[in-house]
A = this chain, B = another copy of it.
Amino acid sequence: MNLDGLNDFSIEVPSWAYGNSGTRFKVFTTKGVPRNPYEKISDAAEVNRLTGLAPRVSLHIPWDLVDDWSDLRRHAEENGVTIGAVNSNLFQEDDYRLGSLCNPDPAVRRKAVDHHLQCLDVMRQTGSTDIKVWLPDGLNYPGQDSLRGRQERLAESLRAIYDALDPDQRMLLEYKLFEPAFYSMDIPDWGTSLLHCLALGEQATVVLDTGHHAPSTNIEFIVMQLLRQNRLGAFDFNSRFYADDDLIVGSADPFQLFRIMSEIVAAGAHRPESKVNFMLDQCHNIEEKIPGQIRSVLNVEQALAKALLIDQEALAVAQRDGDVLGANAILMDAYETDVRTALADRREERGLPRDPVAAFLASGYAQKAATDRAGGTQASWGA
C-alpha cells in the first residue's frame, strides 16, 4: 500500500473548535474547555502531538485577540504548532444587523474593512499568510435591499482589503448558501466568490466549506472546477445531513469525502505546492471536543489514503474505453479497502500512537484540563 502521498500532507485546525459551540437553542458546556487563546492552542497542539497531522491552528479575530502576539506565537511553537489562517468576524457587532462589507451605511462598511486591516496586522505579527473572509451578509426579506447594489459595495470593500495585502498574503473568500441570512446571502455560491476573486487578482482564492451548499450539490465537481481555475485556496471541512450542520468531517457521508479527496489527488493538490489549505471548521456541540478533532483529522487522512490507492492507470483505460461499471469498480476498490491498519503502522513508524483517540483518553489530558481550568469563562463563539 503506497501511501507516500500522505508524507507532506497536513490539516489546519480551528481555535474555535476547542471552545463551546451550539445551536441557536442551546450551547452545552463541559469541564476543561479553554478560556483563552493559549489554552485553545494547547488543545490543538495535543491533536497534532497524537496524530502528526495538524501542525497549524487558525485564529479568529476578535475571539483570539491577545496583547502580545509574539508571546502567543512562541507558545504555539513551543507546543509544536504554528499560527495558520486568520479569520475575520463580521457577524457579532450590533452594527452588522443589515450587513458588514455590504451594509447600506458606508460607515459600517468602513468599520468592517478596518477590521480586516487589523487582521492583516495580526498576520504580520503571527507569521500567518492567509486571511479568511466569511461574509455573513445577506437579506431576510425580498426587497429589503438591492441585490445588485450590495454586489457593488462588496466589490469595493473587498478591493480596499485586497489592496492592503502584502505580496505574500492571500485572501481566502468563502461562500455560503444560507444562514445567518435566509432570503439571500451576498456570496451564496462558488461562482460569486470566484467572480470577486478574479476581479481582485491572483492573491484572492475561494474557500470551499463542505457544508455550505444546497442539497444534492456535487461538491467534488466544484473542487475540480476551482482547481482548474487555479483558485481553490482552502477547504473548511465538516459534514452535514441537512444544512450547515458542522458535524465531524466524514461522519455523514464518508464516500463524498473520498470523492472530494479523489479529485484532489487527480490534480496533485494534496501536495504543499498546490497551496490548498485543508482546514477544519466544525462545531462539537454535544461530543468531546479534542477527541472530536482527532477523529476529524483521521477521517480526512483516511479519505486521502484511500484516494491515493486508486489505480489511476487502470482507471484512465477504463474511462477511455467507456467501461462504465469497470471504471466505477476501480474507484470503489480503493474506497472499500480498509486502510486503518496501514495508517496505524505508519503512525507507529513515526513515533505516534497507533490509536490516537485511545491514546488521548488514556493520557489524562482531559481530566487535567478539567482541574486546571476551573474558574474563569470558557471560550465560545462570541467570546
Chain A interface (Cβ < 8 Å from any Cβ of B): 21-26, 28-29, 91-92, 94, 96-98, 104-105, 136, 140-149, 151, 177-180, 182-184, 188-192, 194-195, 213-218, 220-221, 224-225, 227-229, 240-243, 245, 247-248, 251-256, 259, 262-263, 266-267, 285-288, 291-292, 295, 302, 315-316, 319-322, 324-325, 327-332, 335-338, 340, 357, 381-382
Residues in B neighbouring A216, C-beta threshold 8 A? 177-178, 214-215, 241-242
Residues in B neighbouring A149, C-beta threshold 8 A? 319
Q: Are B151 and A228 in contact (CB under 8 A)?
A: yes
Q: Are A357 and B329 in contact (CB under 8 A)?
A: yes
Residues in B neighbouring A240, C-beta threshold 8 A? 182
Most buried by B among A105, A151, A182, A331: A182
Q: What are some 24 contacts across the A-B interface (CB < 8 A)? A: A21-B24, A24-B381, A26-B92, A29-B94, A98-B286, A104-B322, A140-B247, A141-B248, A141-B251, A141-B327, A143-B319, A144-B319, A144-B324, A144-B328, A146-B266, A148-B224, A148-B266, A179-B243, A182-B240, A184-B218, A188-B218, A191-B191, A255-B255, A295-B329
Known: A182-B240, A182-B242. 16 other contacts (CB 8 A): A140-B245, A140-B285, A142-B259, A143-B319, A143-B331, A145-B327, A148-B228, A148-B267, A149-B319, A178-B243, A191-B194, A242-B243, A295-B329, A302-B336, A336-B338, A338-B338
Question: Copy number in this complex?
Answer: 4
How many Å lie between the Cα of A145 and that of B228 in the bound state? 16
How many Å lie between the Cα of A227 and that of B140 in the bound state? 22
Across chains A and B, which 8 residue pairs bring their CB atoms closest together, nearest first?
Answer: A191-B191, A143-B331, A214-B214, A215-B215, A182-B245, A338-B338, A141-B328, A23-B180
Contacts A191-B194, A288-B325, A322-B105 given; indicate if A241 touches B218 (C-beta within 8 A). Answer: yes
Q: Are B188 and A141 in contact (CB under 8 A)?
A: no
Candidates B24, B190, B263; contact of A24 at CB < 8 Å = B24
How many Å lie between the Cα of A6 and that of B351 in the bound state? 41
Contacts A143-B315, A255-B253, A259-B142 given; indicate if A325 touches B295 (C-beta within 8 A). Answer: yes
Residues in B neighbouring A287, C-beta threshold 8 A? 140-141, 324-325
Q: Are A286 and B97 in contact (CB under 8 A)?
A: yes
Residues in B neighbouring A253, C-beta threshold 8 A? 253, 255-256
Q: Are B286 and A195 in contact (CB under 8 A)?
A: no
Q: Are B322 and A98 in contact (CB under 8 A)?
A: yes
Minimal beta-carbon separation of A141 from chain B (angstroms): 4
Residue of B nearest to A94 (CB): B28
Residue of B nearest to A226 (CB): B191
Q: Are B221 and A147 in contact (CB under 8 A)?
A: yes
Q: Are B221 and A188 in contact (CB under 8 A)?
A: yes
Contacts A23-B179, A180-B26, A189-B191 given; indicate if A147 touches B220 (C-beta within 8 A). Answer: yes
How many Å lie between the Cα of A321 and that of B144 in the bound state? 10
Contacts A24-B24, A98-B322 given; indicate if A183 touches B144 (C-beta within 8 A). Answer: no
Residues in B neighbouring A221, C-beta threshold 8 A? 147, 184, 188
